[in-house]
Amino acid sequence: METTHQSSDQDRPAADQRRRELLEAADRVVLRDGPQASMNAIAAEAGITKPILYRHFGDKGGLYRALAKRHTDALLASLRVAVDAPADRRERVEATLDAYLAAIEARPQVYRFLMHPAEDAHQPEAGFDVGRHSAPLLRRLGEELAKVIHERVDLGPDGEQLARVWGHGMVGMMHAAGDWWLGERPCSRAQLVTSLTDLLWGRLFEVPDREDGPGF
């Protein structure tokens, strides 16, 4: 029994490495095909059969969740760097908005895969419900941003609840405005960042930083 457990522990790094390799193959296909990326194409890119891909991720929903976590983790890391930059509050708000917009601008096909369904109704996987999976992704971003706001801004007795309202509101704004901007490109990214910051620059400017932690 102990030997089996030790063998399982030894196999885990190899399995984790294989999973990372498959996600990298999926990334390459998504960068090429966007929302049209299929399990068949990803399996072919990885040099495996589709049943082996299913063994690792279950179905396209499982693969989607793994890719979403991978890219959300990277986005959250860049947002935290922007928030904690040595600059005044408005500059950090602008940097946070710009970090999100820069991420979707740099990899638009990945963004479309994560946020928009395939449009070809003849594809067997076109019925994949992206909205059902993208909603948790946006909620996670909202909760993480809420934590950052609560840690850095003194919002009073109901601060935690207000921070969650603001966190989810800001993510909703970034998502909606970014989606529209990525599709139409009506202005530069810098202009959009300035305009969104102006919209936010109401009560957020007036409340004090916390005395016991880093300011926002």
Tell me whether residue 88 is in a domain. Answer: yes
CATH number (domain holding residue 191): 1.10.357.10
What does the pLDDT look like over 10-42, one tens digit per residue? 566 777 888 899 999 999 999 999 888 889 999
What does the pLDDT look like over 55-82, one tens digit per residue? 888 888 888 888 888 888 888 889 888 8
CA–CA dist 163, 196 (Å, integer) = 18
Mean pLDDT for 160-165 is 94
Are 67 and 154 in contact, with CB atoms under 8 Å apart? no
Tell me whether residue 124 is in a domain. Answer: yes
Are 22 and 46 in contact, with CB atoms under 8 Å apart? yes
Tell me whether residue 5 is in a domain. Answer: no
Mean pLDDT for 179-196 is 95
pLDDT band with cut points at 50, 70 and 90 for residue 204:
low
- Domain range for 194: 60-206
Number of domains in the chain: 1
Tell me whether residue 52 is in a domain. Answer: no
Q: Which of 71, 74, 35, 64 is nearest to 133 (CA)?
A: 64
Tell me whether residue 175 is in a domain. Answer: yes
Are 41 and 29 in contact, with CB atoms under 8 Å apart? yes
Tell me whether residue 23 is in a domain. Answer: no
Tokens 């990298």 sit on residue: 24
> What pLDDT does 19 receive?
87
pLDDT at 124 > cutoff 70: no
Tell me whether residue 53 is in a domain. Answer: no
Tell me whether residue 2 is in a domain. Answer: no
- Predicted TM-score of the model (pTM): 0.78
pLDDT band with cut points at 50, 70 and 90 for residue 122:
very low
CA–CA dist 97, 79 (Å, integer) = 8
pLDDT at 131 > cutoff 70: no
pLDDT at 86 > cutoff 90: no
> What pLDDT does 1 receive?
47
- Length of the chain, please? 216
What are the φ and ψ backbone dihedral angles of 206, each rounded to 5 degrees? Answer: -85, -30
